[in-house]
Each structure stands twice: as structure tokens, then as C-alpha cells.
Amino acid sequence: MLREIDLSEISDGKLYTGNDMVKADCRGCAGCSSCCQDMGSSVILDPYDIFQLTGHLDKSFEQLLGEDLELNVVDGIILPNLKMAGKDARCVFLSPGGRCTIHKARPGFCRLFPLGRYYENHSFRYFLQVNECPKPDKTKIKVRKWLDIENFRQYEKFTADWHYYLKERQEMAMDSEGSEGAELVRKLSMDILRRFFIRPYNQKADFYPQVYARMEQAGEESL
Ligand code: SF4
Ligand code: SF4
């Protein structure tokens, strides 16, 4: 997340807003599931993804861990990601026929692909990854339609706020040294895991007030 990227090498050189048209529409992917395989630990999940997944599958975060999700260190902080399994390293939610079995609740990373996010000034815009999706002749689609997510504006705001919230903690973790530093890193990771991922969300209530309350509470409490 903290890595710098050279947009000129991986994109068409343009940055897009949610209302812009972008040549990303693979028209249902038609037989391709390449971005659902061999993705390593790169499909990193945020609290909204976990809210969606736990609600859709009616399982707790702990129940999803191991079978469907795993934990890995991302820039010093432990975060959940989708698990790739088997000899072909397929996403655990990919059917044998190559379809996503949790399409309605698929994570933000999956909705976005082959777009990426470019963060600056506490916000972000989108870019088109030109080397990632092999489907030829993609057509133009409005970015927000491609993402196909409820409360798009609120989702975008939360995505940016979460990115910078995490970034601050990742920088603290990366700057820490020695045994005191190691203890701080452990506390930071455990706090984020417990506060935003393990503790269940009320599925009958709006997600955003819940997650912002947790962010505010974290700001008021010392580790
Ligand atoms: S690589 Fe492109 S066409 Fe293939 S599944 Fe992913 S988005 Fe669809
Ligand atoms: S959750 Fe669905 S869209 Fe995302 S990688 Fe898995 S199968 Fe593909």
C-alpha cells in the first residue's frame, strides 16, 4: 500500500473519477477467470469487504479465517486477504465452472479490477491497469457502474478514509525499531484486527456509522 507506483508503466496515463468513462468493461468476462487465480495474497480486504462477506455467508470473521481468508503482513500491519487454494491457486470462491460464487458480496478489489486506485491529498482517483486483464476489445463503461456498489459516494469516502487511517499506522509500524518497536507493531496489528475485523458488525444497520464510530473510538484510546 505504501509502495510508489509508476503510472506511466502500468496504465494508459489517465486518472479517472467515478463519473468518467473508462475502457474496462470485459462484458461478463465470458469464460475468463484469470484475475481469480494465482493472485497470491494480493486481494487484501477492508472492513466493508468483511461486513459484506460475513453478512452474505452468515459466518463470523473467525469462521472465514483458514478456509476462505488468511492473514498476512502488509507494510508492517496484519490484514486479511482472500485465500487462493489448490494446485492452480484458485480463489476459494471461484466455482469449478469459473464463476464467482459470491458475486453480490465480492470484495472491492474484485469489483475494481482491472482498475486501480491512485491516492493523493486524502482522496483517490482511478487508473486503468493496461497489462492485467487479457480480454481484448474491452468497451467503455462509467467507473461507478463498473464498481456496481451501493452508496457509491459513501463507499468512496470510506475507502479513502480507511486508506489514510491504515497508512498512518503502517508508517508507525515501518518506522518502529527494537523490542519496544516490535511490541508497538504487535499492538497496532492486534488492535486493527480486533476492532475492525473480528468484532462483528450489526448486519441490520448501516455499515458506515458503525465503522466510523470504531475509528473515532480508536483515536480516543491509547494502545
Ligand atoms: S482478467 Fe479481465 S476478463 Fe478475465 S476475469 Fe478478470 S476482469 Fe474478467
Ligand atoms: S471473490 Fe469472486 S471475483 Fe473475487 S477473486 Fe474470488 S472468485 Fe474472483
Q: Which ligand is nearest to the CA of 109?
A: 2
Distance 32 CA to ligand 1 centre (A): 6
Reading phi first (left if > 0) and then psi (alpha if -120 to 50, else beta), residue 108 is in alpha
Measured CA to CA, the distance from residue 2 to residue 194 in angstroms comes to 23
In a domain, 220, yes or no: no
Ligand 2, atom nearest to 95 Cα? 7
Q: Is residue 188 within 8 Å of 77, Cβ to Cβ? A: yes
Q: Which ligand is nearest to the CA of 36?
A: 2
In a domain, 5, yes or no: no
Q: How many distinct structural domains can be found in the chain?
A: 1
In a domain, 157, yes or no: yes
Stretch 33-51: mean pLDDT: 96
- List, for residues 151-194, the tens digit of each pLDDT value: 999 999 999 999 999 999 999 999 989 998 899 999 999 999 99
Structural domain harbouring 51:
10-214
Give the model's confidence band at 2: pLDDT under 50 very low, under 70 low, under 90 confident, else very high.
Answer: very low
In a domain, 221, yes or no: no
In a domain, 195, yes or no: yes
Min mean pLDDT across 5-9, 12-16, 95-99 is at 5-9
In a domain, 219, yes or no: no
- List, for residues 43-69, the tens digit of each pLDDT value: 999 999 999 999 999 999 999 998 999
Q: pLDDT above 70 covers what percent of the chain?
A: 97
> Taking the CB of residue 198, how many other CB atoms lie within 10 A of it?
15
CB of 113 closer than 6 angstroms to any ligand 1 atom: yes
Residues 6+ apart with CB under 8 A from 94: 33, 36, 37, 100, 101
Q: What phi and psi, each to the nearest 5 degrees, are found at residue 142?
A: -70, 135
Measured CA to CA, the distance from residue 165 to residue 1 in angstroms comes to 12
